[in-house]
Amino acid sequence: MTASAKNLSEIQVWELAPSLRSLQKRVGAPPHLDAKWPCLQDEDRASPALLAAIAAFAGTLPGSTSCEAPFQTPGHGFALDEELARGQPEAFVSDPVWLILRADGAMHLGLRPEWAQRILTLGWGTVHPFARYMAGAVPPQSLIVFAPRDEEELIAARSIIEAAYGYAVGRIGDVILPDTRW
């Protein structure tokens, strides 16, 4: 059985990024995403202060720099320096961009399949709508993580960003992830 086919209860703690291990279930109904590009949230958008906090956090990660979001997505992209971008190709929204902070405060990012399953099961995000419509062109672990609604959810968003960053660099601390370019 592959990790992506496992039930969340069958995933071992060591199989998760450390930042996802204590993640709790998101409270409330998931926001609706517009089915048309750029698939923004219709409600529960992040405040300007929360948007700024997410951007500041993503920009402090080693080798991560703010850039124009690919695909004319409204928001900001975050790219990795070439020497650090050693994760699997699916870790990137568009090489070298590993994270898009969208104008609504939601985030487009990639995670290892078992990590993505945890995010989905706990209600923090959804598979990107284009992964459903364009099977093969957009990997299934390409996620839209919902915009944080408050400071508590900002902490969860940072944990998810840390996991996406680890996937993009191909390592968590000193541990090299499988199938990376290290």
Whether 33 is covered by a domain: the verdict is no
Q: 10-46, pLDDT tens digit by residue?
A: 545 447 899 999 999 999 999 998 878 788 898 999 9
Which of 36-50, 129-143, 150-164 is modeled with the greatest confidence? 150-164
Residue 84 structural domain: 42-168
Residue written as token pair 């997410």:
54
Question: Would 4 be classed as within a structural domain?
Answer: no
DSSP character at residue 121: H
Q: Looking at the 3D structure of the chain, how many domains does it have?
A: 1
Domain assignment of residue 129, yes or no: yes
Most confident of 3-12, 87-96, 133-142, 148-157: 148-157
**Nearest CA among 158, 156, 133, 129 for reference residue 144:** 129
- Gap between the Cα atoms of 80 and 69, Å rounded: 13
Split at pLDDT 50, 70, 90, the class of 84 is very high
Query: What CA–CA distances, in Å, run from 145 to 63, 70, 79, 94, 173?
Result: 22, 17, 18, 17, 23
The verdict on residue 111 lying in a domain is yes
| Rounded Cα–Cα distance for residues 79 and 91 (Å) | 11
- For tokens 């949230």, name the residue: 41
Residue 94 sits in a domain of what CATH number? 3.90.1150
Q: Using an 8 Å Cβ cutoff, are 146 and 41 in contact? A: yes
79 inside domain: yes
The residue among 109, 96, 107 whose CA lies nearest residue 142 is 109
In-domain check, residue 97:
yes
Asked if residue 138 belongs to a domain, the reply is yes
As given in the structure block, the two tokens for residue 70 are 């690919």
Please indicate, yes or no, if residue 55 is contained in any of the structural domains.
Answer: yes
Q: What is the pLDDT of residue 116?
A: 92
Q: What is the pLDDT of residues 107-136, one digit of tens each?
A: 999 999 999 999 999 999 998 776 565 555
Least confident of 19-23, 48-52, 79-83, 134-138: 134-138
What percentage of residues in the chain have a pLDDT greater than 90?
68
